[in-house]
A and B are shown apart, each in its own frame.
Chain A
């Protein structure tokens, strides 16, 4: 117990100290965790020693949770639409990398079994590293992000046959296979294993739909927050355990469970319950990776390790670049894609250990390869930075628009739009139609190129970066429009603007009512909800189709919007009086209940009697308005 507290203290302190520093320096949280891990590790401060490896295995569960969360955001139909991308890019990447790495390992004297096992292993990339970094940079939705995700998914699926393949190679090299391999199904014939694989997948899908959802409904009725959290953890661990039992990848199992539950009403609750665990575990995982880097080994064989890391990263990014070219990524997107997946992933720790156990790889080389894996993972955030600051600005879409091109837009613009997605682009088009040129900040290189071609003044990069904001002219502009798709990044952005450029008028997009409440709490005044005007307009058209006069319906709509906007700050303040809600969705329901009650109190519809002859009729004789 004491020891556990001691470890927890060190790991958490490392996270709390190094991550904010890394964030402040613009390096992203992953690098912060890794550096924290290296510093507390045995070769620097020595706060943690050999147990780092155990913690890493424990913390790997964060990856499993992450895939559950990714699954939750992907509806089955959407996944089905991505099938070509997954199989196409995935197969090219895995096949190409394995082939080249196999040649490479054979060239440096590996036996073919060891070379093949190592080649397969290094072709895997790190889901944890890639998804965390892409999400933090808001790049998951662009072409590079989608392709990277597809490749990672394909790799996750391929782990199954690779795990099945390794023991076969051990046999053919006349070495004794490790007894009672990893799963209890090891002894069954191939067809039975296949059947059980399919059965397990079916169990997750059917169980998710017909057991888990009713079970969650039951738990939700008990209204104990911690019970629901426990249930959520139970689902994730259960799916993972089932998969491990039959020899499938636990990450794949939970991913599947997530996809199945993506359509259920508990999606948001599950998300908000698992999210913190995932975050902490992933952080631990990265720290453990940092702490596990064997600097002794590196110092003893500096050239071997450096050569291997450089070779692996070069081969991987080369194959990725070809893959990206084949799926027609533009240069910038392809560079992000190639760099993001160039490391060796966390599966390698498992696969190398397994290969060693089977006698395919020698103890020394296993250690060496694990070192290479850890170093390559640490290199990823650095490669990202290098790509972002050195390669892309020079060879890709420029961060700052050309002088030549900026020439024809005279002087500084008074309006800056951050985020030119569905929401921001409409604003930009509208302003342009009225001869107001706005400066645009966006982080999707494809979009930036298009916009520049169309004559917009566009700055490319992370809008929360102070230097980009400054070069975009945030200190001279009058109005700043925050219309980034991700509410989190948008909130971070407006906070930054408020602190750094207090004179800018900030107009901010809110996805919905709760986002708007949060923005009010953050001191924002000009808040625009995506859902308000459009839904009211639809409602107005319903009235018209039901036979209302257009003008009457339109006035009712205008009044409703006015009433709802007026109620917003009132209800936002009121929110804090309430007891903490048991569930997020409970909060949503309570919010609606409150709204509906208020609607009943003061009918927001037509509450005047303007131009109504029936209303003035009884008073006729004393007055004569009509």
Chain B
């Protein structure tokens, strides 16, 4: 059997202490062997991202997770800063820029609006994945394999029980990626959200 894949979670929340949902999500994956959580706002409060350190982290892992809330239809500023600084030309993309080639990457996002509002004509106008297109295209540019996002909708109204369920889903997804690797891509590729894939289960205990 191959050595299990390793996971790097890039987490960005400028006010994590006030975020109930992300707290629950992180609680389920922290301390799991093979998973590294990189808390960007804690690491770089002055936005002075250490490119060398981040690139070394990326090289040492096979599955990359962009975990963040959706603010104004995008990721918090530091996540963008991280992408702009770390994914250098000549390293992540461009000529000879293939250090991330073949790694799996996906978003884990929390959004206040329900899934029903993210439709044409709905309050949020477009499907949520439309707002993640920059991530998807960036992954493509860096020759990474982009997987569907894991999305927690309606965070304001979610009960504690529901949040726990999402936490278990999150952990389950990461564990299967560590075990199965790229073979998973074909199974989930067609779904809009990772949590739509029946193979992941319902997260019920």
The proximity string for B residues 59-96 relative to A, scoring 1 for CB distances below 8 Å and 0 otherwise, is: 00000000001111000100000000000000000000
A551-B14 contact in complex given A613-B155, A624-B123, A625-B72, C-beta closer than 8 Å: yes
Determine if B46 is an interface residue (Cβ-Cβ < 8 Å).
Answer: yes
CB distance from A580 to the nearest CB of B (A): 44
CB distance from B60 to the nearest CB of A (A): 24
Q: Which residue of A lies closest to B22 (CB)?
A: A613
How far does the alpha carbon of A553 sit from the alpha carbon of B117 in the complex, in Å? 35
Determine if B126 is an interface residue (Cβ-Cβ < 8 Å).
Answer: no
> What residues of B have a CB within 8 angstroms of the CB of A620 in the complex?
112, 156-157
Q: Which residue of B lies closest to A617 (CB)?
A: B156
Q: Which of B27-41 contact A (CB under 8 A)?
A: 41
Q: Which of B5-25 contact A (CB under 8 A)?
A: 13-21
**Are A611 and B76 in contact, CB atoms less than 8 angstroms apart?**
yes
Given contacts A550-B45, A626-B110, could you give 5 more A-B pairs where the C-beta distance is less than 8 Å?
A: A549-B15, A554-B46, A611-B69, A616-B112, A624-B124
> What residues of A have a CB within 8 angstroms of the CB of B124 in the complex?
624
A611-B18 contact in complex given A550-B41, A625-B71, A626-B70, C-beta closer than 8 Å: yes
Q: Which residue of B lies closest to A615 (CB)?
A: B18
A612-B18 contact in complex given A551-B45, A626-B155, C-beta closer than 8 Å: yes
**Are B41 and A551 in contact, CB atoms less than 8 angstroms apart?**
yes
> What residues of B have a CB within 8 angstroms of the CB of A552 in the complex?
15, 17
**Are B42 and A551 in contact, CB atoms less than 8 angstroms apart?**
yes
A611-B45 contact in complex given A624-B117, A624-B124, A626-B71, C-beta closer than 8 Å: no
> What residues of B have a CB within 8 angstroms of the CB of A625 in the complex?
71-72, 112
**Are A611 and B156 in contact, CB atoms less than 8 angstroms apart?**
no
**Are A613 and B41 in contact, CB atoms less than 8 angstroms apart?**
no
Determine if A614 is an interface residue (Cβ-Cβ < 8 Å).
Answer: yes
How far does the alpha carbon of A612 sit from the alpha carbon of B18 in the complex, in Å? 6
A613-B72 contact in complex given A550-B41, A624-B123, C-beta closer than 8 Å: no
Determine if B102 is an interface residue (Cβ-Cβ < 8 Å).
Answer: no
How far does the alpha carbon of A549 sit from the alpha carbon of B156 in the complex, in Å? 22
Q: Is the interface of B mostly helix, strand, loop or mixed?
A: loop
Q: Which of B18, B76, B123 contacts A614 (CB 8 A)?
A: B18
10 contacts between A and B (CB under 8 A): A550-B41, A551-B45, A552-B15, A611-B18, A612-B18, A613-B19, A613-B20, A613-B155, A616-B156, A624-B124
Q: Which of B18, B46, B113 contacts A613 (CB 8 A)?
A: B18
CB distance from B105 to the nearest CB of A (A): 23
Determine if B177 is an interface residue (Cβ-Cβ < 8 Å).
Answer: no
> What residues of B have a CB within 8 angstroms of the CB of A610 in the complex?
14-15
How far does the alpha carbon of A625 sit from the alpha carbon of B123 in the complex, in Å? 11
Which residues on B are within 8 Å of A, measured CB to CB? 13-21, 41-43, 45-46, 69-72, 76, 110-113, 117, 123-124, 155-157
How far does the alpha carbon of A549 sit from the alpha carbon of B78 in the complex, in Å? 15
How far does the alpha carbon of A614 sit from the alpha carbon of B76 in the complex, in Å? 17
> What residues of B have a CB within 8 angstroms of the CB of A611 in the complex?
13-15, 18, 69, 71, 76
Q: Which residue of A lies closest to B16 (CB)?
A: A549
Q: Which residue of A lies closest to B69 (CB)?
A: A626
**Are A624 and B113 in contact, CB atoms less than 8 angstroms apart?**
yes
CB distance from B131 to the nearest CB of A (A): 13
> Which 4 pairs, one residue from A and one from B, show the smallest C-beta to C-beta distance?
A626-B112, A611-B15, A554-B45, A550-B45
> What residues of A have a CB within 8 angstroms of the CB of B19 in the complex?
613
Q: Which residue of A lies closest to B117 (CB)?
A: A624
CB distance from A611 to the nearest CB of B (A): 4
**Are A549 and B42 in contact, CB atoms less than 8 angstroms apart?**
yes
The proximity string for A residues 591-626 relative to B, scoring 1 for CB distances below 8 Å and 0 otherwise, is: 000000000000000000011111011001000111
Q: Which of A504-553 contact B (CB under 8 A)?
A: 548-553
How far does the alpha carbon of A613 sit from the alpha carbon of B21 in the complex, in Å? 10
Q: Which of B71, B112, B157 has the most CB of A within 10 A?
A: B112
CB distance from A280 to the nearest CB of B (A): 53
Q: Which residue of B lies closest to A622 (CB)?
A: B123
> What residues of B have a CB within 8 angstroms of the CB of A550 in the complex?
41-43, 45
CB distance from B126 to the nearest CB of A (A): 13
How far does the alpha carbon of A625 sit from the alpha carbon of B41 in the complex, in Å? 20
Q: Which residue of A lies closest to B157 (CB)?
A: A620
CB distance from A220 to the nearest CB of B (A): 44
> What residues of B have a CB within 8 angstroms of the CB of A612 in the complex?
15, 18
How far does the alpha carbon of A554 sit from the alpha carbon of B47 in the complex, in Å? 11
How far does the alpha carbon of A617 sit from the alpha carbon of B158 in the complex, in Å? 12
How far does the alpha carbon of A553 sit from the alpha carbon of B14 in the complex, in Å? 11
Q: Which residue of A lies closest to B21 (CB)?
A: A613
How far does the alpha carbon of A551 sit from the alpha carbon of B117 in the complex, in Å? 31
Q: Which residue of A lies closest to B12 (CB)?
A: A551
> What residues of A have a CB within 8 angstroms of the CB of B156 in the complex?
613, 616-617, 620, 626
**Are A549 and B71 in contact, CB atoms less than 8 angstroms apart?**
no
How far does the alpha carbon of A610 sit from the alpha carbon of B16 in the complex, in Å? 11
The proximity string for A residues 544-568 relative to B, scoring 1 for CB distances below 8 Å and 0 otherwise, is: 0000111111110000000000000
How far does the alpha carbon of A83 sit from the alpha carbon of B42 in the complex, in Å? 50
How far does the alpha carbon of A415 sit from the alpha carbon of B69 in the complex, in Å? 46
> What residues of A have a CB within 8 angstroms of the CB of B110 in the complex?
626
How far does the alpha carbon of A554 sit from the alpha carbon of B20 in the complex, in Å? 22
**Are B70 and A549 in contact, CB atoms less than 8 angstroms apart?**
no
Q: Which of A554, A610, A613 has the most CB of B within 10 A?
A: A613
How far does the alpha carbon of A203 sit from the alpha carbon of B157 in the complex, in Å? 77
> What residues of B have a CB within 8 angstroms of the CB of A626 in the complex?
69-71, 110-112, 155-156
Q: Which residue of A lies closest to B118 (CB)?
A: A624
How far does the alpha carbon of A615 sit from the alpha carbon of B119 in the complex, in Å? 26
How far does the alpha carbon of A555 sit from the alpha carbon of B47 in the complex, in Å? 12
Q: Which residue of B lies closest to A606 (CB)?
A: B15
**Are A549 and B155 in contact, CB atoms less than 8 angstroms apart?**
no
Q: Which of A553, A613, A624 contacts B45 (CB 8 A)?
A: A553
How far does the alpha carbon of A617 sit from the alpha carbon of B156 in the complex, in Å? 6
CB distance from A210 to the nearest CB of B (A): 50
Q: Which residue of B lies closest to A614 (CB)?
A: B18
How far does the alpha carbon of A106 sit from the alpha carbon of B110 in the complex, in Å? 99
The proximity string for A residues 183-220 relative to B, scoring 1 for CB distances below 8 Å and 0 otherwise, is: 00000000000000000000000000000000000000
CB distance from A556 to the nearest CB of B (A): 11
Q: Which residue of B lies closest to A621 (CB)?
A: B156
How far does the alpha carbon of A624 sit from the alpha carbon of B42 in the complex, in Å? 26
Q: Which residue of A lies closest to B47 (CB)?
A: A551
Q: Which residue of B lies closest to A612 (CB)?
A: B18
Q: Which residue of A lies closest to B42 (CB)?
A: A550
How far does the alpha carbon of A614 sit from the alpha carbon of B112 in the complex, in Å? 11
Q: Which residue of B lies closest to A540 (CB)?
A: B45
How far does the alpha carbon of A550 sit from the alpha carbon of B44 in the complex, in Å? 8
Q: Which residue of A lies closest to B71 (CB)?
A: A626
> What residues of A have a CB within 8 angstroms of the CB of B70 in the complex?
626
Q: Which residue of B lies closest to A549 (CB)?
A: B17
How far does the alpha carbon of A620 sit from the alpha carbon of B21 in the complex, in Å? 16
